[in-house]
Amino acid sequence: MQEYELLKFIKSKYQVRFEIIEHDLQNYNTPGDYYFNEGTLVFAASMLPDIREPMAIIIHEVTEVALLMKKHPTMPLKDIIEMVEAFDHEFEARRAAGLEAKYAEPGDHPDAPYYMEHQEATKAERAYIERLGINWEEYDDRVTATRDTYTPKR
């Protein structure tokens, strides 16, 4: 059996941290993010009124990372994350220039290097939300609305 990067990552004794934070503490205007901070892989979700909802965002982010590791089994996780961050920051610059819609998700853009992984992660997130009996459209509206309140604090 092939050993994937996630298993190597875990065996290397790095830490993984899950955070539910104020939206303004995100690295940029996104409800969910993953990044390295001093050797720790951090998954961060913006706070929403129902604590189960940011957990859905975390499920999305973890699924996306796991699928990217499967897609790129020999690529170091740090490089995978840098690839995603580069696309996301370029996308946000295009949004600021008026070239992308205000509420568009970078991972929904067909040129995103993680487009398919994002789509599958959204399916997992949606399945979780629907299993909890939360209306998907209302949840999605709450998540999207976080973009209107972003004032960076980091």
Per-residue pLDDT 10s for the chain (154 aa) are 455 555 665 566 668 999 999 999 999 999 999 999 988 999 999 999 999 999 999 999 999 999 999 999 999 999 999 999 999 999 999 999 999 999 999 999 999 999 999 999 999 999 999 999 999 999 999 999 999 988 877 6
Total domain count for the chain? 1
Classify residue 51 by burial, with Cβ atoms within 10 Å: 0-12, 13-18, 19+: exposed
Residue 34's pLDDT is 97
The answer to whether residues 16 and 37 touch, using CB atoms and an 8 Å cutoff, is no
Residue 1's pLDDT is 42
Domain extent at residue 25: 5-146
d(CA 106, CA 89): 9
pTM: 0.90
Q: Is residue 12 part of a domain?
A: yes
Q: What backbone phi and psi angles, to 5 degrees, belong to 25?
A: -90, -5
Q: Is residue 151 part of a domain?
A: no
Q: Is residue 154 part of a domain?
A: no
Q: Is residue 110 part of a domain?
A: yes
Q: Is residue 17 part of a domain?
A: yes
Q: Is residue 153 part of a domain?
A: no
Q: How far is CA 151 from CA 14, 25, 37, 112, 154, in A?
A: 31, 8, 21, 25, 9
Q: Is residue 21 part of a domain?
A: yes
Q: Is residue 94 part of a domain?
A: yes
